[in-house]
Structure 1
Amino acid sequence: MLLNYFKIAFRNLLKSKGFSVINITGLSIGMASAILIILWINHEVQYDQFHEKKDRIYEAWNRSTFSNKLQSWNTTPKILAKAMQQDLPEVEKTARVNWQDNYLLTVGEKSVAIDGNVVDSTFLDVFSFPLSKGNVATALQDPHSMVITEKLARNLFGDENPMGKIVKLNNSENFTVTGVAKDLPDNSRFKFEFLIPWAYQRTIGNDDENWGNNSTRTYVLLKQNASFDAAQQKMKGMRKKYDPSEPEGEMFLYPISRWRLYSSFENGVESGGLIEFVRIFCSIAFFILLIACINFMNLSTARSEKRAKEVGIRKVVGAQKGNLIAQFLGESVLIALIAGLLSLMIVQLSLPAFNNLTRKHLIVDYSSMSFWLAFLSFVILTGVIAGSYPAFYLSSFRPTSVLKGTFRKIRALVTPRKVLVVVQFSFAIILIMSTIVVRKQLKHAQDRQTGYEKDNLGYHFLTGDLEKNYLLVKQELLASGIASSVSKTSAPLTEGWSDSWGFEWAGKAPGDKTDFDRFCVDESLAKTAGLQLVKGRDFDLQQFPTDSLAILLNESAAKAMGFKDPIGQLIRDNGKEWHVVGVFRDFILHSPFYPTRPMVVEGAKGWFNVIHMKLNGNNGMAANLKNMEQIFKKYNPAYPFDFKFVDEEYANKFEDEKRIATLSGLFAALTIFISCLGLFGLATYMTSTRVKEIGVRKVLGASVGSITSLLSKDFIKLVAVSFVIAAPIAWYAMSKWLDDYPYRTALEWWLFAIAGLLALMIALVTVSFQAIKAAIANPVHSLRSE
């Protein structure tokens, strides 16, 4: 029986090659799209879920009110770990992790600049980063020990055993390799290539017990069977206990299961995060697959007259409805299997481009039995969904009507087939509208004035000997004509590395906790970056030596401090008294999608990490870079030359939105393509059933245009109905999405009109192709049998 069903299924596939190709192509593209999205979703959901003790791992967070808003952040005082060990009996271990930084590692004549972290010796015990060599318990005990990854070990030592070898860090300190960690999974927040112990921080004086210095991340491993609620309650009071300056502040523990997807807070309360994108793409995967299944349903039911007599005869000879349903579902599962295997080929071919787009390293593990079980389940589910409606529809035919030749299609105003076409195009139009809005929001932010001049502006980090040789480097850059201005700063102009609510000034209201971005520069920031001064002047240490304790304010900071005349005002910060010498227009330091914040720029008594340079535009850029590299190598020979352009770094701020726009556009195009495949198939079949009618109309004088209109208008009406349904849904969804951006574009009616017209034109072209073909055919051929 089963063999007979398979024979019939294959015969039907071969008999209707055109429809089979459309069905299999649509299903395979839909399945491939869904598989790619599922791979991405699985990658995101599994972030840091490979740690063996994940159910007991938490991160310490702060929560307090600043700028009249309850804010949450995950940097903590360095002393917190010790205090938690003392005050929380539920804590088994704590592990601090500093911000990842780039270090120079040297072995003999070989040097590499690579990312690493300073961590507590307990880090490898809390988190599951297994060692291929070394002991987890002792690998980071010595202040000058080092754990490196297998990748770094191959880079530094080749095939030699790295254990016990000496590595020089930043050309100053020697470290002994005491462990080799297996290469890190791609889906982890930790991206280090080596680890050095926190004990080293203490030997160089970088450890402190200041509760106001929130500069590190603190992780907690609770004891087995310990009460999380009890630990959380005690955690809340630690800020008040140890930091009297923060009477409103509190701390809390945040579980590892929510770090990646949910760690976005609004007014102190968890408000989603990446989980929103996971849900959106999960919906997209479902609907793309559903649209492919709808194609199958529509084409199968449209061709029902071809199978009607087969059903009638089977029922007459004793076939039950259940047998027919099983047969038709089996056929659809077979088609789904063929489409599924084709979809794997599509996935494999498109995976490199998809990885490049999403910046992931997604793979299909063909050696995994669980993958094949999941794939088979996916194929069967797709086949059942696609074949369910046709199976029940075809098996419901009455044999008497079919065999008498009185079986006819239902010509009703609303039919399941029409509903399915409307569903298809509604989702396609929603995606088109969403893509247009996302791209408009992206352009809206890109067109925003930055507040400084990005052209020919770049920077280089103060690595190695650049700090002590800064003045020499600056003099040569200016004397050689490579740069027209050079400034030393605390951070790149595109990033905010420091903020504070502890500034003091005359007239400050009691309890004022306005949070200010804090930046440092030695001199000439306005000249180097092209800032627009609205009051006062720039820093100038040559003319005004006291500018080392000068300060600049942006307009928002001057307003927040309530200064009518800011010049000459005194501001206290970090135990120093700074005098205001100028006010500049706000510039974008953080995200271009958010308003600028109050900002203070402190003078040469601050701290520095970066050299900014305004390059001479009269020179060729290649020549500038070549000559600049020679100067940097002269004064900092051990470190690589790594110059970054501000305009390129600023452009990176739009990467996430660009990715969303590209992905939504890609899936919109695929959805339209799959929908049009189905529409093309339906138009082809409907046209073939009306060949004689078309012939008669042509003989009676009907024009090609009128026949084309006759055959197309029903489909166009369905697309128009889809637009009416899709427009309000898309408007609501995009309104909710734009709510996350304080600086956002307007939702205008013409955006939706363009999407509707685009969908209408695509559908018209798809249907008209078959309609025109039928309309220009010679009526003699269609009427010959009469």
Structure 2
Amino acid sequence: MFKNYLKIAWRNLLRNKSFSVLNIVGLSIGLAVTTLIVIWVNFEIGMDQFHENKNRIYQVYNQHPVNGEIWTWNSTPKIMGPIIQEDYPEVESAVRLQEDSEFLFAQGDVRINGNGIITDPDFLKMFSFPLLEGSIETVLEDVNSVVITESFAKKMFGNVPAVGKIVKVDNTDSFTISGVLKDLPSSTAFEFDFLMPWAFLKQRGWDDKNWSNNSIATFVMLKKETNHAAFIKRIEGLRKVYDKDSPEMVTYLYPFTRSWLYSNFENGKEIGGRIDVIRMFGIIASIILIIACINFMNLSTARSEKRAKEVGVRKVVGARRLALVSQFLGESIFISFIAAVFALIFVIIGLPHFGALVEKPLSLDLTNVGFWISAFGVICFTGLLAGSYPALFLSGFKPSSVLKGTFIKSNAAVTPRKVLVVLQFSAAIILITSSMIVAQQLKKVQDRQTGYSKNNLVYTSIEGDVEKNYALIKEELLASGAATSITRTSSPITEGWSNTWGFEWQGKNEENKIIIQRFVADEDVSETLGVEIVEGRDLDLDMYPTDSTAVLINESAAALMNFDEPIGQIVKDNGIDWHIVGVAKDFVLESPFQKIDPMVIEGAKAWFNIIHIKLNTANSTSESLAKVESVFRKYNPEYPFEYEFVDQEYAQKFNDEKRTGQLVSLFTLLTIFISCLGLFGLASYMAENRIKEIGIRKVLGASVTSITTLLSKDFLKLVLIAIVLAVPISWYFMNNWLEDFAYRIKISWWIFVLAGVVALAIALITVSYQAIKAAIVNPIKSLRTE
């Protein structure tokens, strides 16, 4: 019987080639898109899930009431890890991570900058990063030992074994390579070239016991027999014992397994994070697959009359309805299988491009048995879902009616096919409006005035001999004509590395705990960075030596501090009395999607990490950079000269939203395309159902235009209904999305009008083909049709 069903299915495919192609194309696109999104979702869900002890690992967070809300953050004091391990027997180990630690590694003529982590010896016992060389028990025990990754070892030593080799770090300390790690998998959020022992940080004097300095990450691993819920409750009061200055601060343990997907907190509660994007595209994948299945239903039932007599004959000769349902479902699964083959080809071709779009190293393991089992299940599910309604519809024909050619075709106002088309176009319109709103929001933020000049501005880190030779470097760069101005800062102009609510000023409300950004610059802030001084003057150490303790405040800080005359006022920070010499126009330091925080720009008494260089536009960029590099190599020969363009770094702030917009636009186009296939199917059904009516109307003098209008208006009504349904839904979801941004657009009515017009135009073009085709048929031929 199965063989017979297969033969019938194959014959029907060949007999109705155009119908078969439309079905297979729609299903294959739906399956391919769903597969791509599922691969991406699985990659995100699988981040750091390979660690053997993952369910016993927690990251230490802080929670503190601030201005009526509970703030949650994951940076902790350096002293916290050892205290936890010492005071709580439930803890098997606690490790601290000083991440993004950059050092120059030198061995012979090889000099490479590496980015790594300074951590405690138990790091490799807590996290499952396998060693290729070295012992997990001892690799981080010695103060001058270092563990490097396999790829970093090859850069340093080629194919020569690395363990035991001596390297110079920052031209000061000698380290012995104690272990080589297998390169980190793509499924981890950790990024490092090396691991250094915490004892080295202590040796350098960077370890402190200040409970107010929340600057590192701390992880704890509980013993196997520990009651997690009870321990999490018990540790909440840790800071009350040790941190007398913050008695209200709560120590909060957050499961390591959730940290990648759920990173956002609001008023002390987890509210989501990356999981929101994953859910959104998971829903989109489901919608696209369902729309593809709806197409199959519409296209199958559109051909119902051509198979009506087949059903009637089979019933007359004794076929039961169950057998007919089985046959039609079998045909549907067979078509789903063919579509899956094409979908797999599309996935293999498209996966590298999709991976590049989402910026993830996605892969498909065709040797994985689980994949093929899942694929088989999806094929059967899709076939059953897509074929269920056509099977029940076709098998329900009465043989007496269909053999006489008098079976009744539904002319009801509401039919399943019409409902399905409305749902299809509702989904398409929601995606159209969503992509338009995302594009509008992105354009608004990209057009936002940054408050500083991004063009021809580069920055480089202060390392090696740069600090002691800074005056000579600056003088020579200006004299060479490569740069027009230079300034040192605490961080790049595109990033905020320090903030606090601890600033004090006269008249400050003690309950005020508003975060103020702490930025540091020595002089020439206005000239180099293009920041506008709206009151007072810029920092100038040459003319005003006391400017080492001078500050600029931005407009938001001036409004917060509420001075009648800010110039000359004192602001206290880190035990220093800073005097205000100027007010700078607000500029975007961190996210352009959020409001600008109050900011204090401290003078040279603070610290510097970065040099900003304004390139001379009289030269080509490459020529200026070559001169800059030669000067840095002259005064800092042991370090490679590395730099970043400020405009490029700023542009990266839009990557996530730009990627979201591109993905939504891509899936919108695919949804529209698949929906049009469904509409095409319903139009085909309509034309077939009303062929004699069209013939009679033409005999009575109806024009092609009037017949086309008659046949098209019903479909346009369906699209109008879809618009009515889609508008409030899309407004609700997109308004919720925009609430994440302080700097945002207002959703305009014209976006919904334009989306509706686009949907109507697409529907009209799709339906008109079938309508015109039916309208121009010779009426004699139409009236002869049975």
- For this structure pair, what is the TM-score category when the shorter chain's length is used for normalisation? over 0.9
Q: Is the 8 A contact 2:540 2:547 kept in 1?
A: yes
Task: Name 1:347's counterpart in structure 2.
Answer: 347
Q: Is the 8 A contact 1:556 1:598 kept in 2?
A: yes
Q: Is the 8 A contact 2:417 2:682 kept in 1?
A: no
- Equivalent residues in 2 for 1:325-364, closer than 5 Å: 325-364=325-364
SS in 1 for 2:154: helix
- Equivalent residues in 2 for 1:242-257, closer than 5 Å: 242-257=242-257
Q: Is the 8 A contact 1:76 1:215 kept in 2?
A: yes
- For 1:42, the aligned partner's letter is N
Task: Name 1:775's counterpart in structure 2.
Answer: 775
Q: Is the 8 A contact 1:65 1:513 kept in 2?
A: no
Task: Name 2:627's counterpart in structure 1.
Answer: 627
- Equivalent residues in 2 for 1:29-40, closer than 5 Å: 29-40=29-40
SS in 1 for 2:163: coil
Q: Is the 8 A contact 1:22 1:678 kept in 2?
A: no
SS in 2 for 1:465: coil
- For 1:86, the aligned partner's letter is E
- Equivalent residues in 2 for 1:311-390, closer than 5 Å: 311-390=311-390
Structure 2 CA distance for aligned equivalents of residues 78 and 683 of structure 1: 69
**Greater CA drift, 395-404 or 358-367:** 395-404
Task: Name 2:439's counterpart in structure 1.
Answer: 439
Deviations 1:553-604 (A, max 9, x none): 1122223223222222222222222211111121111111111111111111
SS in 1 for 2:379: helix
Q: Is the 8 A contact 1:67 1:515 kept in 2?
A: no
SS in 2 for 1:226: coil
Task: Name 1:399's counterpart in structure 2.
Answer: 399
**Greater CA drift, 512-521 or 416-425:** 512-521
Q: Is the 8 A contact 1:357 1:659 kept in 2?
A: yes
Matched, 1:14 2:19: no
Task: Name 1:766's counterpart in structure 2.
Answer: 766
- For 1:304, the aligned partner's letter is S
Structure 1 CA distance for aligned equivalents of residues 741 and 456 of structure 2: 30
Give the superposition deviation at 1:686. Answer: 3.4
Matched, 1:221 2:239: no
Deviations 1:616-668 (A, max 9, x none): 22322222222222222222233333222212211111111111111111110
SS in 2 for 1:52: coil
SS in 2 for 1:98: strand
Give the superposition deviation at 1:219. Answer: 0.3
- Equivalent residues in 2 for 1:154-193, closer than 5 Å: 154-193=154-193
Give the superposition deviation at 1:294. Answer: 0.1
SS in 2 for 1:464: coil
Task: Name 1:469's counterpart in structure 2.
Answer: 469
Percent of aligned positions that are identical: 55
Task: Name 2:52's counterpart in structure 1.
Answer: 52
SS in 1 for 2:528: helix
- For 1:147, the aligned partner's letter is V
Task: Name 1:506's counterpart in structure 2.
Answer: 506
SS in 2 for 1:413: coil
**Greater CA drift, 213-222 or 137-146:** 137-146
**Greater CA drift, 758-767 or 497-506:** 497-506
Task: Name 2:24's counterpart in structure 1.
Answer: 24
Give the superposition deviation at 1:693. Answer: 4.3
Structure 1 CA distance for aligned equivalents of residues 600 and 202 of structure 2: 31
Task: Give the TM-score of the pair, scaled to structure 2.
Answer: 0.97
Task: Name 1:301's counterpart in structure 2.
Answer: 301
Matched, 1:5 2:23: no
Give the superposition deviation at 1:690. Answer: 4.3
Structure 2 CA distance for aligned equivalents of residues 604 and 571 of structure 1: 15
Structure 1 CA distance for aligned equivalents of residues 55 and 300 of structure 2: 49
Task: Name 1:69's counterpart in structure 2.
Answer: 69
SS in 2 for 1:260: coil
SS in 2 for 1:92: strand
- For 1:679, the aligned partner's letter is L
Task: Name 1:230's counterpart in structure 2.
Answer: 230
Task: Name 2:291's counterpart in structure 1.
Answer: 291
Task: Name 1:568's counterpart in structure 2.
Answer: 568
Q: Is the 8 A contact 2:551 2:603 kept in 1?
A: yes
- Equivalent residues in 2 for 1:480-519, closer than 5 Å: 480-519=480-519
Structure 2 CA distance for aligned equivalents of residues 411 and 642 of structure 1: 73
Q: Is the 8 A contact 1:488 1:521 kept in 2?
A: yes
Q: Is the 8 A contact 2:104 2:114 kept in 1?
A: yes
Structure 2 CA distance for aligned equivalents of residues 749 and 430 of structure 1: 14
Structure 2 CA distance for aligned equivalents of residues 103 and 342 of structure 1: 50
Task: Name 1:127's counterpart in structure 2.
Answer: 127
Task: Name 1:310's counterpart in structure 2.
Answer: 310
- Segments of structure 1 that go 5 or more residues without pairing to the other structure are none
Task: Name 1:102's counterpart in structure 2.
Answer: 102
Q: Is the 8 A contact 1:66 1:515 kept in 2?
A: no
- For 2:463, the aligned partner's letter is T
- For 2:430, the aligned partner's letter is I
Q: Is the 8 A contact 2:302 2:684 kept in 1?
A: no
Task: Name 2:92's counterpart in structure 1.
Answer: 92
Give the superposition deviation at 1:118. Answer: 1.0
SS in 1 for 2:93: strand
Structure 2 CA distance for aligned equivalents of residues 66 and 478 of structure 1: 46
Task: Name 1:205's counterpart in structure 2.
Answer: 205
Deviations 1:369-415 (A, max 9, x none): 11111111111111111111111222222222222322232111100
- For 2:480, the aligned partner's letter is S
**Greater CA drift, 340-349 or 476-485:** 476-485
Task: Name 1:114's counterpart in structure 2.
Answer: 114
The two structures, once aligned, show a CA RMSD in angstroms of 1.8
Structure 1 CA distance for aligned equivalents of residues 284 and 325 of structure 2: 29
Give the superposition deviation at 1:703. Answer: 2.3
Task: Name 1:79's counterpart in structure 2.
Answer: 79
Structure 2 CA distance for aligned equivalents of residues 217 and 183 of structure 1: 22
Task: Name 2:672's counterpart in structure 1.
Answer: 672
- Equivalent residues in 2 for 1:532-547, closer than 5 Å: 532-547=532-547
Structure 2 CA distance for aligned equivalents of residues 785 and 425 of structure 1: 32
- For 1:628, the aligned partner's letter is V
- For 1:34, the aligned partner's letter is T
Give the superposition deviation at 1:721. Answer: 1.0
Q: Is the 8 A contact 1:60 1:252 kept in 2?
A: yes
Structure 2 CA distance for aligned equivalents of residues 137 and 754 of structure 1: 65
Q: Is the 8 A contact 1:88 1:234 kept in 2?
A: no
